[in-house]
Amino acid sequence: MFITFEGPDGSGKTTQVQRAAARLRADGHQVLLTREPGGTAIGDQIRAVLHSMDNTAMLPNTELLLYSASRAQLVGEAIRPHLEQGGIVICDRFYDSTMAYQGYGHGLDLDTLRIITEFATGGLKPDLTLYLDIAPEDGLQRRLSAVAQGEEWNRLDDMEMAFHRRVREGYHQLIAAEPQRWVQIDGARSMDAVHDDIMQVLASRLKQMA
Ligand code: TMP
């Protein structure tokens, strides 16, 4: 089963994927927890280029191709092999981030993004996507406290508030277009409340698939 987590910056995804993976492992599941961009040695090098504050001159189409390159490597090297062995893959962001950030955020053509994504993934789609929703202003506050505790502040965090509003609106449109794949969770609540909702959704999906 292939599960992805999506959401605006500061939605708490990274903490939540770790907690969810730990719980599923404790229940005996073989879980690969990975993230985008990155998740492979090659992808992590691409991530460093994408997120570097030295690269503020990067064009949106360059950005798109680099995220897609990282994705192609991750799917081929790690995600598909793990799924083929019957395991669960949890990925912190996947191609919906490209649609939301490069498509709705930067305004790149959505049909072109779909073609490039299909090429990068070989058509692999998540079985379930959990979307942690948060208003950009609240997400920013969370990011600032995380950065104060040592997390990176990246080039995408640094985009203006209007960009982050378009990203969030983009996510809402993606959910409306494909409601059967997505579950939306209010990410503005406490980490424990969000975790409990996530585990309920995962337990019921795993039961359905058993
Ligand atoms: P994160 O690992 O902290 O979520 O940071 C990843 C950043 O990269 C985040 O700002 C969203 C952005 N991103 C895109 O713009 N497009 C993509 O396809 C992906 C995977 C991430």
Per-residue pLDDT, 209: 83
Q: For the domain 2-209, what is the CATH superfamily, name and number?
A: P-loop containing nucleotide triphosphate hydrolases (3.40.50.300)
Residue 188, token pair as written in the block: 């503005």
* 93 in contact with ligand 1, CB cutoff 6 A: yes
Q: What is the mean pLDDT of residues 88-104?
A: 98
Pocket perturbation via mutation, ligand 1, pick of 14, 70, 97, 110 by most ligand atoms within 8 A of CB: 97
- The candidate with the shortest Cα–Cα distance to 139, out of 14, 17, 37, is 14
- Going from the C-alpha of 80 to that of each of 32, 66, 85, 89, 123, the distances in angstroms are 11, 20, 9, 9, 11
Mean confidence (pLDDT) of the chain: 97
For the segment 24-66, what is each residue's pLDDT rounded down to a tens digit? 999 999 999 999 999 999 999 999 999 999 999 999 999 999 9
Helices (H), the chain: 13-26, 41-51, 60-74, 80-84, 95-97, 110-121, 136-148, 161-177, 191-209
Tell me what pLDDT residue 183 has: 98
Task: Indicate which atom in ligand 1 lies nearest the CA of residue 157.
Answer: 10
pLDDT at 210 over 90: no
Q: What is the pLDDT of residues 159-205, one digit of tens each?
A: 999 999 999 999 999 999 999 999 999 999 999 999 999 999 999 99
Sketch the domain layout of the chain as residue ranges: 2-209
CA 87 to CA 79: how far, in whole Å? 9
pLDDT classification of 89: cutoffs 50, 70, 90: very high
Minimum CA distance residue for ligand 1 atom 13: 97
Q: Distance (Å, rounded) from C-alpha 100 to C-alpha 193?
A: 25
Beta-bridged to residue 34, according to DSSP, are 91
